[in-house]
Structure 1
Amino acid sequence: MKRLIKKVAVIGSGIMGSGIACHFANIGVEVLLLDIVPRELTDAEQKKGLTLESKVVRNRVVSEHLANALKSKPSPIYHPKFANRITTGNTTDDLAEIANVDWIIEVVIERLDIKKQVFEQIEKYRKPGTLITSNTSGIPIHFMSEGRSEDFQKHFCGTHFFNPARYLKLFEIIPGPNTATEVVDFLNEYGEKFLGKTSVVAKDTPAFIGNRIGIFGIMSMFHQVKEMGLTIEEVDKLTGPVIGRPKSATFRTVDVVGLDTLVHVASGIYENCPEDEAHELFKLPDFISKMMENKWLGSKTGQGFYKKVDKDILSLDLDTLEYRSAKKTSFATLELTKTIDKPIDRFKVLVKGTDKAGEFYRKNFTGMFAYVANRVPEITEDLYKIDDAMKAGFGWENGPFEIWDAIGVEKGIELMKAENLEPATWVTDMLASGNKSFYTIKDGASYYYDIASKSQKKIPGQDSFIILNNIRESKKVWSNSGAVITDLGDGILNLEFQSKMNTIGGDVLQGINKAIDLAEKEHAGLVIGNQAANFSVGANIGMIFMMAVEQEYDELNMAIKMFQDTMMRVRYSGIPVVVAPHGMTLGGGCEMSMHADKVVAAAETYIGLVEFGVGVIPGGGGSKEMTLRASDLFRKNDVELNVLQEYFLTVAMAKVSTAAHEAFDLGILQHGKDIVVINKDRQIAEAKKQALILAEAGYTQPIRRKDVKVLGKQALGMFLVGTDQMQAGSYISEHDKKIANKLAYVMAGGDLSEATLVTEQYLLDLEREAFLSLCTERKTLERIQFMLTKGKPLRN
């Protein structure tokens, strides 16, 4: 049976419920969001003369929760207008409306008695066949559906979103005892394809997969920090980006999530898993109990493991439970990994450390290895699901079994035994059967060790993905130090950046030109895409800084010209070029996207021309392109200056989209041409498909533009008056004004006496001249140096 999801009902509008509602709105689904009716009036409502029967009062809870969610940062919604897809109501007056939805999601308080009451009410109105799921984070699913009808139980299961629902990819599906197989299969596919999630089917065990493993990791850290005499800053230094984890690491993450949330899940595991060999680790340490008593729960209460006082961030001393100034931390072991770019390659070095960091990693990793091995098959039959859950739910770059593989399975066992830990029997059986690793790659696909068959099995669901890590070596066509060209099949090549932060320097530009050369000679099209954390943070400003400091202006001019020419090759090659941006796509990365035949952007794409932050204007065709796009929007009787001003402000204010959908408003992505994909894992496959469509439709090399309308002195005068006023009002500095005036000159087309049609090359020459002149300014060099050393813009 074909099942379509056109409308969902979300019952419960708290942080989680509103977040789930917003994410369904993100993907175009109509949402009915319901919550309880208040029992009493607020003072403000009484002053207005409202009664408990007033609709605004009856919907107050849901309205306030949704409003708070939409105001929160980062936003739960891709674009403000998408909130119009959400209708609010209350469970007393509007519950009958659930008869018109395709999926009902319960997100009320984590109490079984309340959930069962809600389900009893839902069953009065729910039409047969409607999906009904609970977003519980730990209550056993089989308890919830007791006493419900056969149809209810057949279509009921747990669907555990992680908070925030938009950003965390894990989507756990927990079947109940009577859940139909087709319901589980549908939710699994829907999560991946439409919600953009990593769907993981979990067993109905306490805390399921993600929280069972994640909370173990945090709770064991709580005990370890006291045993080893570590500070919270030291633990956060050791458990952050250096091992491929979020910047918030351990203690900052707990502050953000809320200590009470963590304690609730940990206590549930402690109470419901008496046979767990790590049972005592889930018991709260004294300092956690004291923090709970003091209501030091983290961000929501203003203090937790960290506390902000004025501009200072204080940290908690776990011995005295007093706040003190944060201490700088450094470890010799970490210094050894500074030249190793990928976290997966650092683990072998980290476990060999002879200092406290090395000891910490050996204890931490071996404890985790032993724990996850013992959870198979208790919480899942398939080890890869544990890795998927930790990567998608906790933001780990590598899951526990992947880390164990990186260290070496046998080496991991050796380290475990040194810590008085024994590996699960199935791990030693695996080695005895000749399988030396948990994962292998074969014929471009990932395989995992299957315990039941004692053999490597293909991880299901890969057919709709292209995983560059799996094909890079076997399908490599060409490479240099900064770029790799691989054959995606069907006549489509892929160019992948390999530079640090995917910056665009000479080696990447060489790779782009080489990829276009190869594609024009022997292939049908080209995709420019990668699967790193970010698409590209822009041009290699370190190279620009060195040339400018050495006053090598001829070389710098040639470098900028090469960048511009390469972007124009992307636009005017003989084959379709599809660019697939995601994550940070800044400066030159944005310019490359703007010159593509088509952009296939991941929903989470933060794209913009940010060159003002380093004291220059976009110099790789970005200033030209924004002028061209404004020109293309000029219409008879329009006020053309207003259109141009919008594009000018996008660049001058260094606007960056907070999601791909916002980039359409900025004029960076174009309606009717560029598309957005929700699941980043499907992005390269979709980009390949779009390149093939363009090629098979009879792609014709575009003709270079000679008809860009520029407004000359009319626009330039307006812009210069504007920057004068901005500086006079102290909104911008003198150097900001200088940069803005340079941009104004380019986007006006110079000081032409009247509106004129010019070529793209004319604008590129103006752009390059302005960029070069700004590189001679001391304040620009200060900005570039500050960005290189501090990683953030300087406003001087």
Structure 2
Amino acid sequence: MSNQLLVRRAAVLGAGVMGAQIAAHLTNAGVDTVLFDLAAKEGAPNGIVDKAIANLAKLSPAPLASKALAERLTAANYDTGLELLRDCDLVIEAIAERMDWKQDLYKKIADHVPDHAVLASNTSGLGINKLAEVLPEKLRHRFLGVHFFNPPRYMHLAELIPAKTTDAAVLEGLETFLTTTLGKGVVIAKDTPNFIGNRVGVFSMLAAMHHTEQFGLGFDTVDALTGPAIGRPKSATYRTADVVGLDTMAHVIKTMGDTLPDDPWHQYFKSPKWLTALVEKGALGQKAGAGFYTKKGKDILVLDLKAQDYRVSAGELDADIAALLKEKDPAKKFAALRASTNPQAQFLWAVFRDSFHYSAFHLESIADTARDVDFAMRWGYGWSLGPFETWQAAGWKQVADWIAEDIVAGKAMANAPLPNWVFDGRDGVHNKDGSYSPGRNAQVPRSSNPVYARQRFPDALIGEKFSQGQTVFENDGIRLWADDGDDIAVISFKTKMHTVNDHVLNGIQEAIGIAEKKFKGVVIWQPKEPFSAGADLSGALGLLQAGDLKGFEAMVANFQATSQRIKYSLVPVVAAVRGLALGGGCEFQMHSARSVFALESYIGLVEAGVGLLPAGGGLKEFAVRASEAAGPGGDVFAELKTAFESVAMGKVSTSAFEARELKLARDGDRVVFNAFELLHVAKAQARALAESGYRPPLPARRIQVAGDVGIATFKMMLVNMLEGRFISPHDYEIATRIATVICGGEVDRNALVDEEWLLKLEREHFVALAQMPKTQERIAHMLKTGKPLRN
């Protein structure tokens, strides 16, 4: 058993943007959290914190997984609230990045922190050992640094930085808590300025800025070069700086300059002239409305240094370079970049070269292994591959020789030599035995902390392979597989975006039949997001356009049959959902015995957007649930209202919690914070259901429906929306049909119907809508543009 850090209650000190969001995420995870700040000068003493909590609802992306969670936070101040710390198991300090302020606060709270609690400083680069100096002896072994990345709910990375005095058990306990409870990817860093992520990440931005000038490129061109084209986030270099805030950027660069005087790249640790000029002008980026970019009406403008003014942002990649970057073989791609005389190619080679050089030179001092650097850049900066992985994929030895040549020729940013281990005959830093550690001069396997046993498929580095299990059955749509000796099988889809076509439908039905004979349960899980983007629209449209109405009707009936097969399987079927679960994907999880959701699950029945209604049993399921919730003779209509609005408006949840509020998930469904633990938890749920004597539900034969009165009431709402021009006549048509199905058709209020009746209604209205020209226009538009058409 690992060293568990049992956290019933936590405190966050500092209600600034970062502190408030950390508190929000602790609350998301079900941790009772107290948020502290200074006492307000006037008004209520907790006024500063109250304001910060209210502000959480305004931030985008939302720090809270449900708006209702804001009331669960407790507000406190340092003058009257310190007694509240006595009940806390974890205290995270997140005040401004000033050593003296942080140390003063520690002196103030030290006597109130209980003897078992862990104290962590959320800092992006201050010395942890220096911070620890002011703590009393009894607290030092329970103190360490933790660095959450912004925004803390969404960024996977959390760096843990032990002080010399930190107990190993405290480090392991907090790592376990961050991983499972908060869903983070933890990297353990050494106590060096800016730790790992920001040390390498900010350097790579500085290198891009330096080479922007050197090769005379526009800021928008650099962003086109350093975004998705090379596997980096859309915000690339300068848009990222605008989002972070140019004042913050300048401060981080200055900190590097002040704290790293001996770094061979020190001469570059100062803000370029144009960055300083923007900060002095108050053009601090997104928060000020202008930075490297600004908006004018609908146009996005970019700063042009030569003209000293903004111009319309074009940011085009040279056609040759765009083609070169599409090359699948990294070795060929890097050779072409280095050989090219095109300034865009030279820029990219230079940025890669200097980042590789910097990472290799500093690896031993900042991290234990190359794995830590690669994960820090992936999880904290959104790179698809870390610097060492990129280098290894491009051919380790060849790239190392090129970097060495450039250093000798004076082309690299610094003349420090590459470390000797780079040239010891290796083909890279990651292999099946682990990742290279210069400090230990060995390949080091992944962490043995027991928490990682919950990750069957952890995030894989280049050179790592995880067993894909044994295939039990597969067709063109799905694969049914299991690990050796396991009693729970897994269904994974093989289609693009895991859309649902006939192969998937037939495959699921067959797989469940096999599982009933050979396994105790089944999990539907995809190795990569999304869970499922819904039905394969192009196949459906093809049948319609060919006039094959029989084939089209048969496909809908098969969809429903598959959902029913999931629901009435003799072994529990558990859906393990992360990312998008739209349309049919949502309906499959509605029919499963239980769903397990990753926190970031975006779930919706969005068929109305393509002019259709859900017909994979989703509307039938809402009617069944409403009848069960209302009870005999109860108010079925009241139970349907939320579900109807969710479907008619095509709402998509922004978290698993919100999916419950929209009635797209059940109250008993589990929510998992670490997406890499999803399969583990789903299998555990399936096994628990099986072991506790699972039987499928009995067929629903007496479903009480809202009937004609329900339909009429929904129509009144819709007429008002139509007259107010909030919806189009075709929207009205679709929504009326949704209301008709969900209320059980034109029957008396509280009439009793069975599932077959509701499924038939679904099919009839689905097929009728599908034949309408306006619906076919919507489907064609969605296939062409990926966006819904309002017609």
Q: Tell me by how many angstroms 1:481 deviates.
A: 5.3
Select which of 580, 586, 589 maps to 1:590: 586
Higher mean Cα deviation, 656-665 or 455-464? 455-464
Partners of 1:754 and 1:65 in 2: CA distance: 48
Match of 2:275 in 1: 288
CA distance change for structure 1 residues 455 and 74 in 2, over 3 Å: closer, same or farther?
same
Partners of 1:754 and 1:593 in 2: CA distance: 29
Partners of 1:8 and 1:272 in 2: CA distance: 32
Q: Tell me by how many angstroms 1:754 deviates.
A: 4.8
> Following superposition of structure 1 onto structure 2, how do residues 528-607 of structure 1 map, counting pairs within 5 Å?
528-607=524-603
Partners of 2:406 and 2:752 in 1: CA distance: 75
Query: Is structure 2 residue 514 aligned with structure 1 residue 518?
Result: yes
**Are the counterparts in 1 of residues 5 and 177 from structure 2 also a CA contact under 8 Å?**
no
Q: Tell me by how many angstroms 1:667 deviates.
A: 1.7
Partners of 1:278 and 1:331 in 2: CA distance: 30
Match of 1:42 in 2: none
Q: Tell me by how many angstroms 1:333 deviates.
A: 5.6
- Number of residue pairs matched by the alignment: 768
Select which of 725, 729, 732 maps to 1:730: 725
Deviations 1:184-229 (A, max 9, x none): 1111111112111111111000000111111112111112223233
Match of 1:10 in 2: 12
Select which of 79, 85, 88 maps to 1:98: 85
**Are the counterparts in 2 of residues 529 and 580 from structure 1 also a CA contact under 8 Å?**
yes
Higher mean Cα deviation, 355-364 or 60-69? 355-364
- Look up the equivalent residue of 1:530 and give its one-letter code: Q
What secondary structure does 1:378 align onto? helix
Partners of 1:360 and 1:558 in 2: CA distance: 56
**Are the counterparts in 2 of residues 567 and 591 from structure 1 also a CA contact under 8 Å?**
yes
**Are the counterparts in 2 of residues 627 and 647 from structure 1 also a CA contact under 8 Å?**
no
Partners of 1:191 and 1:395 in 2: CA distance: 19
Query: Is structure 2 residue 203 aligned with structure 1 residue 216?
Result: yes
CA distance change for structure 1 residues 565 and 278 in 2, over 3 Å: closer, same or farther?
farther
Query: Is structure 2 residue 58 aligned with structure 1 residue 63?
Result: no
> Following superposition of structure 1 onto structure 2, how do residues 341-740 of structure 1 map, counting pairs within 5 Å?
347-348=330-331, 350-351=333-334, 352=336, 358-417=345-404, 419-420=406-407, 423-429=418-424, 431=426, 436-441=427-432, 447-451=434-438, 455-460=442-447, 461=449, 462-467=452-457, 470-471=465-466, 473=468, 475-479=470-474, 482-489=477-484, 490-636=486-632, 638-672=634-668, 674-740=669-735
Match of 1:30 in 2: 32
Match of 2:75 in 1: 88
**Are the counterparts in 2 of residues 195 and 678 from structure 1 also a CA contact under 8 Å?**
yes
Higher mean Cα deviation, 414-423 or 121-130? 414-423
**Are the counterparts in 2 of residues 350 and 361 from structure 1 also a CA contact under 8 Å?**
no
Q: Tell me by how many angstroms 1:678 deviates.
A: 1.1
TM-score, normalised with respect to structure 2: 0.91
**Are the counterparts in 2 of residues 363 and 419 from structure 1 also a CA contact under 8 Å?**
no
Partners of 1:425 and 1:437 in 2: CA distance: 13
- Look up the equivalent residue of 1:299 and give its one-letter code: Q
**Are the counterparts in 1 of residues 106 and 134 from structure 2 also a CA contact under 8 Å?**
no
Select which of 234, 242, 251 maps to 1:264: 251
Partners of 1:776 and 1:201 in 2: CA distance: 58
Give the superposed CA RMSD: 2.6
Partners of 2:109 and 2:651 in 1: CA distance: 45
What secondary structure does 1:313 align onto? strand
Partners of 2:481 and 2:351 in 1: CA distance: 38
Select which of 736, 741, 755 maps to 1:746: 741
Deviations 1:136-168 (A, max 9, x none): 111111221223311122221111111111111
**Are the counterparts in 1 of residues 711 and 739 from structure 2 also a CA contact under 8 Å?**
yes
**Are the counterparts in 2 of residues 570 and 577 from structure 1 also a CA contact under 8 Å?**
yes
Partners of 2:610 and 2:343 in 1: CA distance: 39
TM-score, normalised with respect to structure 1: 0.91
> Following superposition of structure 1 onto structure 2, how do residues 39-438 of structure 1 map, counting pairs within 5 Å?
39=41, 52=42, 54=43, 56=44, 58-327=45-314, 329-332=316-319, 336=323, 347-348=330-331, 350-351=333-334, 352=336, 358-417=345-404, 419-420=406-407, 423-429=418-424, 431=426, 436-438=427-429
Partners of 2:155 and 2:537 in 1: CA distance: 32
Partners of 2:258 and 2:207 in 1: CA distance: 17
**Are the counterparts in 2 of residues 604 and 660 from structure 1 also a CA contact under 8 Å?**
yes
Query: Is structure 2 residue 760 aligned with structure 1 residue 765?
Result: yes
CA distance change for structure 1 residues 404 and 729 in 2, over 3 Å: closer, same or farther?
same
What secondary structure does 2:24 align onto? helix
**Are the counterparts in 2 of residues 337 and 349 from structure 1 also a CA contact under 8 Å?**
no
Partners of 2:602 and 2:779 in 1: CA distance: 21
**Are the counterparts in 2 of residues 243 and 347 from structure 1 also a CA contact under 8 Å?**
no
Q: Tell me by how many angstroms 1:334 deviates.
A: 6.9
Deviations 1:531-567 (A, max 9, x none): 4243222222233333334433333222222222222
**Are the counterparts in 1 of residues 225 and 317 from structure 2 also a CA contact under 8 Å?**
no
**Are the counterparts in 2 of residues 488 and 494 from structure 1 also a CA contact under 8 Å?**
no
CA distance change for structure 1 residues 388 and 339 in 2, over 3 Å: closer, same or farther?
closer
**Are the counterparts in 2 of residues 162 and 171 from structure 1 also a CA contact under 8 Å?**
yes
Partners of 1:415 and 1:513 in 2: CA distance: 55
**Are the counterparts in 1 of residues 303 and 309 from structure 2 also a CA contact under 8 Å?**
yes
Q: Tell me by how many angstroms 1:379 deviates.
A: 0.4
- Look up the equivalent residue of 1:112 and give its one-letter code: M
Flag as ranges the 4+ runs of structure 1 deviating above 6 A. 337-340
Query: Is structure 2 residue 759 aligned with structure 1 residue 787?
Result: no
**Are the counterparts in 2 of residues 314 and 323 from structure 1 also a CA contact under 8 Å?**
yes
Partners of 1:24 and 1:709 in 2: CA distance: 41
**Are the counterparts in 1 of residues 778 and 788 from structure 2 also a CA contact under 8 Å?**
yes
CA distance change for structure 1 residues 504 and 91 in 2, over 3 Å: closer, same or farther?
same
Deviations 1:590-616 (A, max 9, x none): 111111111111111111111112221
**Are the counterparts in 2 of residues 333 and 350 from structure 1 also a CA contact under 8 Å?**
no
CA distance change for structure 1 residues 347 and 415 in 2, over 3 Å: closer, same or farther?
same
What secondary structure does 1:772 align onto? helix
**Are the counterparts in 1 of residues 369 and 444 from structure 2 also a CA contact under 8 Å?**
no
CA distance change for structure 1 residues 753 and 107 in 2, over 3 Å: closer, same or farther?
closer
CA distance change for structure 1 residues 516 and 640 in 2, over 3 Å: closer, same or farther?
closer
CA distance change for structure 1 residues 163 and 725 in 2, over 3 Å: closer, same or farther?
same
CA distance change for structure 1 residues 568 and 660 in 2, over 3 Å: closer, same or farther?
same
Q: Tell me by how many angstroms 1:583 deviates.
A: 1.7
Q: Tell me by how many angstroms 1:713 deviates.
A: 1.6
What secondary structure does 1:159 align onto? strand
Partners of 2:325 and 2:722 in 1: CA distance: 42
Higher mean Cα deviation, 79-88 or 223-232? 223-232
CA distance change for structure 1 residues 289 and 497 in 2, over 3 Å: closer, same or farther?
farther
CA distance change for structure 1 residues 33 and 507 in 2, over 3 Å: closer, same or farther?
same
CA distance change for structure 1 residues 474 and 125 in 2, over 3 Å: closer, same or farther?
closer
- Look up the equivalent residue of 2:99 and give its one-letter code: L
Partners of 2:397 and 2:476 in 1: CA distance: 33
CA distance change for structure 1 residues 655 and 447 in 2, over 3 Å: closer, same or farther?
same
- Look up the equivalent residue of 2:457 and give its one-letter code: I
Partners of 2:317 and 2:153 in 1: CA distance: 35
Deviations 1:449-497 (A, max 9, x none): 3445655442124422110764455644455555443323412222223
